[in-house]
Amino acid sequence: MEGRTDNIYQFKPFVAAGNVHPIRLLTLLPNKNFDDDLRCEVNHTSLEDKPEFEALSYTWGNPKDVVPLLLHDQTFHVTKNLASALRHLRYTYEPRVLWVDALCINQSDIPERNQQIPQMREIYDVGGAKRVVVWLGEVKNAKIAINFCERLLKEPPEFALLPGYDLEWEACYELLVEMPWWSRAWIIQEVIHKNTVIVHIGNLEPVSIEYICDVSSTFNNAWDVKIRLQRIPDQNALISATKSKSPLKSFVPLPGKDWSSSVRAQKHLMKAAFNIQDIRAATKGDSSNLHLNLPALVMVFRNQDTTDFRDKIYAFLGIANRGPIWHQIPIDYNLSKKSFYTIVVRAFINNPNNSLIPLLMVESHHRPVVRDQELPSWVSDYTLKQNYISQMHTSTATSFSADKGFPSVEQEPRFLESLNCEVLVLRGIYVGVIADTYKARITNDEDLAGFDDVKLIRHNEDPQNRHRDFVRSPLYPWDTTDPDITGENPLVSHSNTSWGPIHSEIGDIIIVAVGSLVPLVLREFEDGKYLFVGACWLIEHEIQDLTKLNVDPGFSRVMFGSACEGLPDDYKAEMFSLY
């Protein structure tokens, strides 16, 4: 932990003992005075001994903002947020036994961290901790927020639209969106199992995780209504709307917030609450029934926060299927970012059930497409936030079948072993080249916040290709200064304007690769050498229903395999080497 430069207490190493799973447990000594020094002890045991303890789920906070406590009467520094949690959890007259990562794992001992990570699931699940204790933090006006959400549950929907509740909305937003715990990656593994989970918020009485997720869901639904209505800041219209039972026609904006910019934060941070709730409900709390795909977990929770880049993957190993992918990923905190993420993506691609879908996680607004960056262009940097369009390309890929009909003769992707496996060779068929790009921005639907991170592309097809004359009507209303998109140029109604990656450029090629369910965009930087740019949707007409992509006639037939129709069984696909 950063900032911990003068700890006197030194951890005693674990003693290896066959198949035993050793752990440390923290004994939090009692005190009648809240502000008195924190005094603790740590003791060695094993999961096989079935010790009785509670496991703490919390967020570290600023690693440089630390305070001392006494561990076996010796100084040891922890973050202020952890110290606050321990003070609130400390009993008055009896000790409390907890498992706390910062105090039960020697964070400076890499081999020990490597050894303890695989045990996390067993520590938090039934058979380990008797229950999980969540420390959400000290939240100003938390009681006001809880009471308001409970009222939202009981009142008719139009109640959420009435003016005069600024303090309540601010309190809810702070508790259910802004608290760092919601954005932490590790919380998913820590609370989705069948164990009892209780949530502490400051000095309030603890509540169940089910209750806090219900409260979050209630707030989110009401919040969505307010976001949609922010464009009509007319109080009289609002009152009229509530009386006429038409709540989606007016809105009184709250002071002091940039609500449009908060849409993405709200949707991102609420994802944790919804997935916790959904997974626990779907499995009836029995984590032994979980059959979760690791690449899918990483995709869904990509934007959750971690301190260490490796934890973007490790945080989900405990709840993922322990199949071929799981066994290919080493737990080693000594691995560099380049080595580790390359291993991860190779493992994802080598799994036949995932094909090339993991490549769709590469694109990020924050990552330029250049040759000499830290990672190969086809390797995702999971520390970067992924824009909405990229996430949608990934999550909806199975709706398409661009590689349908490809002859299956030695066509799988492979790696050039002579280059430390940093070159991915795809086999595929050339579809076309990007002739124009346009930056588009959706202007009149807040539900689509994030769609501004897309390029409209128009491409010329391979003269040998059989499919031409794409027609493009807008999927959604676009706001752009380009005359072709605004309709001032008649060519737009007769050309193929589709959705491309945010970093698309004129001259980038479009291919359909074996194992890719959607077309891919590549950039040639030397003869026969390419950089990966991202995925694209080829569109002919207006898309009618985003929930039925696999049958929507607006898409080009290339999205459903037309590029591969009629290929002979001995067809040798072109090779595309990605660096």
> What would the pLDDT profile of 436-478 be if each residue is shown by its tens digit?
887 765 433 344 444 445 566 666 655 444 333 332 222 232 3
Identify the H or E element spanning 262. Answer: helix 259-282
Asked if 477 contacts 442 with a C-beta cutoff of 8 angstroms, the reply is yes
Instruction: Check if the beta carbon of residue 267 is closer than 8 Å to that of residue 385.
Output: no
Whole-model pTM: value is 0.83
b vs e for 296-305, b when ≥16 Cβ sit within 10 Å of the residue's Cβ? Answer: bbbbbbbbbb
d(CA 532, CA 519): 12
Q: Is 25 helix (H, G, I), strand (E, B) or coil?
A: strand
Q: Region 146-150: what's the mean pLDDT?
A: 90
559 CB burial (10 A radius; 0-12, 13-18, 19+): buried
CA pair distance 83, 100, nearest whole angstrom: 11
Q: Grade residue 255 by pLDDT with cuts at 50, 70 and 90.
A: very low
**What distance in Å separates the CA atoms of residue 511 and residue 523, rounded to the nearest whole number?**
11
- Give the separation between CA 239 and CA 225, rounded to whole angstroms: 15
Mean pLDDT of all residues belonging to the chain: 80
Separation CA 478–CA 475 (nearest Å): 9
What pLDDT sits at residue 204?
A: 95
**β pairing state of 22-28 and 96-99:** antiparallel
Q: How far apart are CA 207 and CA 197, in angstroms?
A: 9
Predicted confidence (pLDDT) per residue in 364-389, tens digit: 988 999 987 789 999 999 999 887 77
Question: What was the pLDDT predicted at 376?
Answer: 95
Q: Are 23 and 116 in contact (CB under 8 A)?
A: yes
Q: What is the predicted pLDDT for the residue at 354?
A: 56
- CA distance linking residue 92 with residue 375, whole number of Å: 52
pLDDT score, position 256:
38
Q: Which one has a higher pLDDT value, 346 or 551?
A: 346
What type of residue sits at position 135? W
Provide the pLDDT for residue 2: 46
- List the one residue out of 504, 418, 407, 398 whose CA is nearest residue 455: 504
Q: Which of 53-67, 151-165, 292-306 has the lowest mean pLDDT?
A: 151-165
Backbone conformation region of residue 410, classed left if phi is above 0, alpha if psi is from -120 to 50, else beta: left
Lowest mean pLDDT among 44-53, 111-120, 192-201, 401-410: 401-410
115/122 Cα distance (integer angstroms): 13
DSSP H or E run through 209: helix 209-228
Pick from 19, 23, 3: nearest CA to 11: 23
pLDDT of residue 215: 87
Mean pLDDT of 87-116: 97
- 18: how many CB neighbours lie within 10 A of its CB? 5
Asked which of 66-80, 137-151, 175-189, 412-426 is least confident by mean pLDDT, the reply is: 412-426
Checking if the pLDDT of 330 tops 90, the result is yes
